[in-house]
């Protein structure tokens, strides 16, 4: 098993609670809160650990809440290296409203950083990659305010220089800036892929031309577009595969994408074939939607759902040649 390095610049203390009804102006007495260490890469590390894999999380923490966050990581038993940032590590709230059954997710931007922070983060990453071999690096989640949108481009360049494969789960300008910089795998969801394609001049409601365009732009060797309840499209220059999860009862979508990346990277680091690794990701994401709020996927559920995955494979259409 090979150790996977995850990167989280904007972690969050995930606070989950419930309230009978959200009513304006009243004091709302909530249920006792539960706390988890969250943020894209941290969640990915939690899932890798749940599956028995080896992972180190590089996490930026800030201020007093950053100390609390370190304690949560310690409690979760995740090996981590910390980078000090300015301000305070953020919290996020997931509030379940009893009367409607709805879940409200309240997210904050995270503390603003000065220009030097990005360079410090890249220097730390360079040191980590120089000190140990990490065949896979996972960068996931939002960037801190003030950080250049080019940041993941720097991560992609460093990963390439050290012979690590970069799995990147981000969106918007940060995703666009990373195109053409040698990322191994990109995992936008459908809306993120549509937005990226629109920025590149293509509007389409079908995930296949979107994936084809991202591959053509040198986005990555592998593009996986996740499609919510419809699973995922795995696209490489050689094959397009649709992977559908079995039907599950949806409890909370929190962490579906991160559970996907966690199981996918676990399986790739264990040298599974790509299609099976992607199917394992689909199973983990389906398992994650059956758990409450910031709870992620459990191994027993992932393995059970993996058995019910459907794969439909075919050669890719050449989008430009079809015109
Ligand atoms: N209702 C569902 N039933 C089964 N699986 C689901 C369901 N919703 C989502 N998934 C799984 O979760 C994966 C990721 O979901 P989605 O496409 O919404 O990604 P995402 O928007 O990146 O998620 P996140 O909000 O966690 O970042 C899907 O590929 C699918 O495998
Ligand atoms: Mg996502």
* 92-137 confidence digits (pLDDT tens): 999 999 999 998 999 999 999 998 999 999 999 999 999 999 999 9
Residue 258 annotated to the active site: yes
Select which of 150, 258, 301, 303 is catalytic.
Answer: 258
* Better-scored residue on pLDDT, 314 or 204: 204
- Say if residue 320's pLDDT is above 50: no
Determine how many CB atoms are found less than 10 A away from the CB of residue 129. Answer: 19
Determine whether the shortest distance from the Cβ of 58 to ligand 1 is under 6 A.
no
pLDDT band at 313 (very low <50, low <70, confident <90, very high): confident
Site to substitute for ligand 1 among 226, 230, 261, 311, most atoms within 8 A of C-beta? 226
Task: Quote the domain boundaries for residue 121.
Answer: 4-22+31-322
How far, in Å, is the centroid of ligand 1 from the Cα of 28? Answer: 31
Measured distance CA(288)–CA(251) in Å, rounded: 9
- How much is the pLDDT for 254? 79
Closest CA to 225 of 252, 246, 204, 251: 204
3-state secondary structure at position 94:
strand
Determine whether the shortest distance from the Cβ of 232 to ligand 1 is under 6 A.
yes
How far, in Å, is the centroid of ligand 2 from the Cα of 258? Answer: 7
3-state secondary structure at position 98:
coil
- How much is the pLDDT for 318? 58
Closest CA to 228 of 192, 204, 179: 192
- How much is the pLDDT for 153? 93
pLDDT (tens digit per residue) in 226-275: 999 999 999 999 999 999 999 999 888 878 999 999 999 999 999 999 99
- How much is the pLDDT for 1? 66
**Number of the ligand closest to the Cα of 256:** 1
How far, in Å, is the centroid of ligand 1 from the Cα of 195? Answer: 17
Determine whether the shortest distance from the Cβ of 248 to ligand 1 is under 6 A.
yes
> In the predicted model, what is the mean pLDDT of the chain?
93
Measured distance CA(173)–CA(231) in Å, rounded: 25
3-state secondary structure at position 224:
strand
Q: Structural domain tally of the chain?
A: 1
- How much is the pLDDT for 323? 36
Own/partner long-range contacts of 288-291 (Cβ < 8 Å, ≥24 apart): 288/254, 288/255, 288/256, 288/258, 288/259, 288/260, 289/248, 289/250, 289/251, 289/252, 289/253, 289/256, 290/248, 290/249, 290/250, 290/251, 291/251, 291/252, 291/255
- Say if residue 195's pLDDT is above 90: yes
Determine whether the shortest distance from the Cβ of 306 to ligand 1 is under 6 A.
no
pLDDT band at 322 (very low <50, low <70, confident <90, very high): very low
**Number of the ligand closest to the Cα of 259:** 1
Among protein residues, the one whose CA lies closest to atom 6 of ligand 1: 229
Q: What does R_g of the chain's alpha carbons equal in angstroms? A: 19
Determine whether the shortest distance from the Cβ of 280 to ligand 1 is under 6 A.
no
pLDDT (tens digit per residue) in 12-35: 999 999 999 999 999 999 999 999
Q: For position 67, which CATH number holds?
A: 3.40.1190.20
* Better-scored residue on pLDDT, 280 or 296: 280
- How much is the pLDDT for 235? 97
Q: Give this prediction's pTM.
A: 0.94
- How much is the pLDDT for 255? 86
């Amino acid at each position: 098993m090979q150790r996977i390095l995850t990167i989280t610049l904007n972690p969050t203390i995930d606070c989950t609670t419930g309230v009978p009804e959200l009513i304006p102006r009243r004091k709302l007495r909530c249920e006792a809160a539960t706390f988890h260490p969250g943020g894209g890469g941290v969640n990915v590390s939690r899932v890798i650990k749940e599956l028995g894999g080896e992972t180190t999380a590089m996490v930026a923490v800030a201020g007093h809440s950053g100390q609390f966050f370190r304690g949560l990581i310690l409690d979760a038993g995740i090996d981590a290296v910390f980078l000090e940032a300015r301000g305070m590590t953020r919290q996020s709230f997931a509030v379940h409203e009893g009367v409607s059954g709805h879940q409200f997710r309240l997210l904050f931007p995270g503390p603003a950083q000065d220009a030097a922070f990005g360079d410090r983060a890249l220097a730390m990453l360079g040191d980590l990659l120089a000190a140990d071999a990490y065949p896979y690096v996972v960068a996931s989640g939002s960037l801190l305010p003030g950080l250049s949108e080019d940041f993941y481009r720097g991560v992609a360049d460093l990963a390439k220089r050290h012979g690590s494969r970069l799995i990147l789960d981000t969106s918007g300008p940060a995703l666009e800036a990373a195109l053409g910089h040698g990322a191994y795998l990109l995992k936008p969801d459908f809306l993120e892929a549509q937005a990226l394609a629109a920025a590149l001049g293509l509007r389409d409601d079908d995930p296949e031309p979107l994936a084809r365009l991202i591959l053509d732009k040198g986005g990555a060797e592998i593009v996986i577009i996740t499609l919510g309840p419809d699973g995922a499209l795995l696209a490489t220059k050689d094959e397009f595969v649709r992977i559908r999860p079995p039907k599950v009862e949806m409890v909370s979508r929190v962490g579906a994408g991160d559970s996907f990346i966690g199981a996918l990277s676990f399986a790739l680091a264990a040298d599974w074939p790509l299609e099976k690794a992607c199917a394992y990701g689909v199973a983990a994401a389906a398992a994650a939607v059956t758990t409450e709020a910031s709870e992620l996927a459990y191994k027993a559920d992932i393995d059970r759902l993996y058995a019910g995955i459907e794969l439909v494979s075919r050669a890719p259409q050449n989008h430009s040649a079809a015109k």
